[in-house]
């Protein structure tokens, strides 16, 4: 039986108020007064209060910027510069989450499988080997990486962890999802870049999944269900370029989610022999205010049903893959009894990945 024993999260040291990020963006994009007002309207209706970043610039005066050029004519950091910062920052942030996750359960030397998740940094040797070396994991530890799947990638990692636990005795699977989205801020002012700058943030989450251990408030991974909406393949995308990773995030995404979410949920529930009334908690990826509202409306959920997702979005923004694990952690730590959790996240494709977890 694959149980989520523990979840721990970590964020970078630089916490930026959404209002301060707005002022940074208005200056960095060199907007005129009309465009400044338009961007301010979007930021103030984002339902995000603050976000975290490994980049200090977003909350500093213009004359103190270091990562983003103060000179408007100067080129923004190229991909190699962004990856250098990723390699400097991703490991310590990941270790902060991992050490808290494992504490009181197992030592690093007892980890049998390591799954790393990221779509904001690439290298070989990569984050998996860096973590293994830093923690002195067994040299024969099973390693695999879930790369470039975007916001739903942590659900895919949970699916892999369950497969491992179901097929391999005495498994202790460590999942580490770390994203540094804010490294990829783009110089050109476009709707996609503006949407990315409005939503995305940095963070890490570590999950211990085991078929041997029992957590204080652990939950059992029961079933998974995924669906691809090909008509949305051009509305959400994440591509490499010499200028960093380029996000495409169209305003059509909430509509696509609203059109397809009910069918996805019903098929996923049927797959587990459940109905919507059997779900005690909804673990929705906080991909943005409009996405949460679209799901809430289509499924007829209450404000209490979406409170965990709204809280994570308010306090952290969209951190891509770790986000849904932040939500799940809050659900597992809630005082209300947890019977069945329905989780769902979205990513390029347009892909919708869901899971159902239940109390032990």
pLDDT digits 0-9 by tens, 270-282: 989 999 999 999 9
Could you report how far apart the first and last alpha carbons of the chain are, in Å?
10
Is 1 contained in some domain? no
What is the reported pLDDT for 91? 98
Is 298 contained in some domain? yes
Q: How far apart are CA 91 and CA 178, in angstroms?
A: 9
Tell me the two tokens of residue 216. Answer: 């204080």
What is the reported pLDDT for 252? 62
**Confidence class of residue 238 from pLDDT cuts 50, 70 and 90?**
confident
Full residue range of the structural domain in which residue 237 is found: 219-359
Higher pLDDT, 61 or 258: 61
**Confidence class of residue 311 from pLDDT cuts 50, 70 and 90?**
very high
In this predicted structure, the answer to whether residue 20 has a pLDDT above a threshold of 70 is yes
* 145, 207 contact by CB (below 8 A): no
pTM: 0.96
Q: Per-residue pLDDT averaged across 43-57, rounded?
A: 97
* 185, 57 contact by CB (below 8 A): no
Question: What share of the chain in percent tops pLDDT 90?
Answer: 75
Is 182 contained in some domain? no
In this predicted structure, the answer to whether residue 70 has a pLDDT above a threshold of 90 is no
What is the reported pLDDT for 338? 86
Is 290 contained in some domain? yes
* 151, 346 contact by CB (below 8 A): yes
Is 335 contained in some domain? yes
Residue 288's domain is classified under what CATH number? 3.40.47.10
In this predicted structure, the answer to whether residue 250 has a pLDDT above a threshold of 70 is no
E strand or H helix at 95, and its extent?
A: helix 79-102
Q: Per-residue pLDDT averaged across 83-94, rounded?
A: 97
Is 136 contained in some domain? no
Give the bridge partners for 206, in sequence order.
8, 176
**Confidence class of residue 199 from pLDDT cuts 50, 70 and 90?**
very high
Is 192 contained in some domain? no
DSSP string, 47-87: ---EEEES-SGGGS-GGG-SSS-SSTTSPPPPHHHHHHHHH
Dihedral (Cα; 137, 100, 184, 321), 10-degree rounding: 90
Q: Per-residue pLDDT averaged across 297-309, rounded?
A: 96
Is 269 contained in some domain? yes
DSSP string, 252-283: THHHHHHHHHHHHHHHHHHHTT--GGG--EEE
Q: How far apart are CA 193 and CA 36, in angstroms?
A: 15
Number of domains in the chain: 1
In this predicted structure, the answer to whether residue 349 has a pLDDT above a threshold of 80 is no
What is the reported pLDDT for 242? 84
**Confidence class of residue 228 from pLDDT cuts 50, 70 and 90?**
confident
pLDDT digits (tens, 9 = 90+) for 125-183: 999 999 999 999 999 999 999 999 989 999 999 999 999 999 998 999 999 999 999 99
């Amino acid at each position: 039986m694959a149980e989520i024993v523990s979840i721990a999260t970590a964020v970078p040291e630089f916490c930026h108020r959404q209002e301060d990020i707005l002022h940074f963006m208005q200056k960095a994009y060199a907007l005129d007064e009309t465009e400044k007002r338009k961007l301010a309207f979007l930021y103030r209706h984002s339902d995000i209060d603050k976000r975290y970043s490994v980049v200090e610039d977003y909350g500093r005066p213009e004359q103190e910027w270091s990562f983003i050029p103060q000179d408007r004519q100067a080129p923004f950091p190229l991909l190699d510069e962004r990856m250098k910062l990723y390699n400097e920052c991703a490991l310590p942030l990941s270790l902060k989450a991992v050490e808290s996750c494992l504490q009181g359960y197992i030592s690093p030397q007892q980890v049998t499988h390591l799954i790393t998740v990221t779509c904001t940094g690439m290298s070989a040797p990569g984050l998996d080997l860096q973590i293994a070396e830093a923690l002195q994991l067994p040299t024969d530890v099973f390693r695999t990486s879930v790369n470039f799947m975007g916001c739903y990638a942590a659900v895919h990692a949970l699916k892999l962890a369950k497969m491992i636990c179901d097929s391999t005795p005495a498994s202790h699977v460590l999942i580490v999802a770390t994203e540094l989205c804010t490294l990829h801020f783009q110089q050109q002012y476009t709707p996609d870049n503006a949407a990315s700058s409005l939503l995305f943030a940095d963070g890490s989450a570590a999950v211990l999944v085991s078929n041997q251990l029992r957590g204080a408030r652990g939950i059992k991974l029961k079933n998974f269900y995924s669906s691809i909406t090909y008509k949305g393949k051009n509305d959400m995308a994440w591509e490499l370029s010499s200028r960093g990773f380029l996000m495409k995030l169209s305003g059509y995404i909430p509509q696509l989610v609203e059109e397809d979410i009910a069918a996805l949920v019903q098929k996923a529930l049927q797959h587990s022999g459940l109905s919507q009334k059997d779900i005690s908690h909804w673990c929705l990826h906080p991909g943005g205010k409009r996405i949460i509202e679209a799901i809430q409306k289509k499924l007829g959920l209450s404000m209490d049903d979406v409170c965990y997702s709204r809280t994570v979005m308010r306090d952290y923004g969209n951190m891509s893959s770790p986000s849904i694990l932040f939500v799940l952690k809050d659900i597992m730590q809630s005082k209300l009894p947890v019977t069945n959790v329905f989780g769902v996240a979205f990513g390029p494709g347009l892909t919708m990945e869901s899971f159902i977890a239940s109390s032990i």
